[in-house]
Structure 1
Amino acid sequence: MDPHPLIDDTIPFGEEISQNPGKLPHPYVTFFHLFFRVSALVIYFFGGIFTQSFITLFVLIILLLSMDFWTVKNITGRIMVGLRWWNYVDDDGVSHWVYESRKGLVQHRVNPTESRIFWAGLWSVTAVWVLFFIICFFSINFKWLLLVSIALTLNIANLYGYIKCKGGNQNSTGISTMASSFLFQNIGKVRETMSSLNNSPTSPIMKPTGIV
């Protein structure tokens, strides 16, 4: 199924963590756990100051969101908190969602400071995208609503997956499958939107309503 083991002995979990619980054993991993997601928010909030092109901002934010989703799902969750969720398709073509967590003493080696940063990053950024979604929805700002919907889907998918991992669930199909389907639907909408924008005359960017 998955070629990469969840418990990787090459990851520097060790005695130095218990001796220095406030020190980050994986500072670069921790940095990139926050970098892409915070960068997407900053560009969404302040991008209009630097460019009036909606397409440029749209593509840049989508790239950052994609890099964030992949990094959090495949790297930072496994290293920072010993959790991982993933998907595989069996020989019958059935899709399975798997939620894993390190067990026993290995799980206790997780650095508490890194763990708090990991969960704070997941919850806080998701909450901000929820706020932006509400603003765009009630202001009927469809261009930005599409972008925020994609951001919210990706962030909720990672958050839900790791909550399932922490809760000890091994297999599930419910919300994760729904999130995946919704994501692919949004990708199709992105293509349609980009095509229509490319075929229409260039117009000034619409700044997200309610954001100063």
Structure 2
Amino acid sequence: MADDTEDVELDFEEERVRRSAVIRHPVASFLHLFFRVSAIIVYLLCDWISRNFASCFILIITLLSFDFWSVKNVTGRLLVGLRWWNQIDEDGRSLWVFEAKKNSQGCSSGTEAEARIFWLGLIVCPLIWMFFFFTTLFSLKIKWLVLVVASISLQAANLYGYLRCKAGGQEGKPPPDTRSFMGHHFLQRISSLEYCED
């Protein structure tokens, strides 16, 4: 009798490990890393790509802007079930709103492997840009320092937003117009449940 229980526990553990290694959103996982890694590679190879600082600056800022938008609006929701945004209230104050998905059973949240990819990319890339900050500062490349500071700002904003989401911080409340969006999103999720079932 004890052997049957051990087999069931082992099968359950193997199934959990198998599901945690699956990547449900391969495009989102790829895009989460593609723009930020591409910006780092372009920065490192910029002298070989072009001698024109302006074209390198524009290319890197464009890649990081795509990264900022895709992480904030797409990959955070799909891979870890978190989202954040900033809004201005009637008094002109800036409010940050942080949301964390409360139910881990929904099909739109990612797997453990996707969460690792998300957090690894979100934390490691700003550290690389911080390294670039000190190398450009000590080499006195002031024009490149502006680019690196802009890069750190974009990546640090996403990191700050998602760390606050993960911690459950709620500075502002969702505005009324986002409640209708959440209702619409809820209806979309219900209608897509048949595609999520294994």
TM-score range, shorter chain: 0.7 to 0.9
2: CA distance, partners of 1:40 / 1:145: 15
CA contact (8 A) 1:65 1:151 kept: yes
CA contact (8 A) 1:123 1:159 kept: yes
**Larger CA deviation: 113-122 vs 102-111:** 102-111
Q: Tell me how far 1:93 sits from its aligned partner.
A: 2.7
Name the aligned partner's letter for residue 46 of structure 1: L
Equivalence map 1:116-127=2 (5 Å): 116-127=116-127
1:89 partnered with 2:88: yes
Change beyond 3 A, Cα 1:19–1:149: same
Scaled by the length of structure 2, the TM-score of the pair is 0.74
CA contact (8 A) 1:36 1:64 kept: yes
Change beyond 3 A, Cα 1:157–1:107: farther
Q: What SS does the aligned partner of 1:85 have?
A: strand
1:143 partnered with 2:143: yes
2: CA distance, partners of 1:64 / 1:17: 36
Q: Tell me how far 1:19 sits from its aligned partner.
A: 6.0
Scaled by the length of structure 1, the TM-score of the pair is 0.69
Change beyond 3 A, Cα 1:98–1:24: same
CA contact (8 A) 1:17 1:23 kept: no
2:152 maps to 152
2: CA distance, partners of 1:154 / 1:92: 26
Q: Tell me how far 1:20 sits from its aligned partner.
A: 2.7
Q: Tell me how far 1:95 sits from its aligned partner.
A: 2.0
More helix by percentage: 2
Name the aligned partner's letter for residue 47 of structure 1: C
Root-mean-square deviation (CA, aligned residues, Å) is 2.1
Equivalence map 1:58-137=2 (5 Å): 58-106=57-105, 110-137=110-137
CA contact (8 A) 2:84 2:165 kept: yes
Change beyond 3 A, Cα 1:71–1:45: same
Equivalence map 1:2-21=2 (5 Å): 20-21=19-20
Specify every segment of 5 or more residues in structure 1 that has no aligned partner in the other structure, as ranges: 1-15, 173-212
1:25 partnered with 2:28: no
CA contact (8 A) 1:88 1:95 kept: yes
- Rg larger for: 2
2: CA distance, partners of 1:153 / 1:93: 22
Q: Tell me how far 1:53 sits from its aligned partner.
A: 1.0
Name the aligned partner's letter for residue 71 of structure 2: V
Q: What SS does the aligned partner of 1:33 have?
A: helix
2: CA distance, partners of 1:94 / 1:155: 23
Name the aligned partner's letter for residue 126 of structure 2: T
CA contact (8 A) 1:82 1:107 kept: no
2: CA distance, partners of 1:76 / 1:22: 18
Q: Tell me how far 1:90 sits from its aligned partner.
A: 2.2
Query: Identity across aligned pairs (percent)?
Result: 46
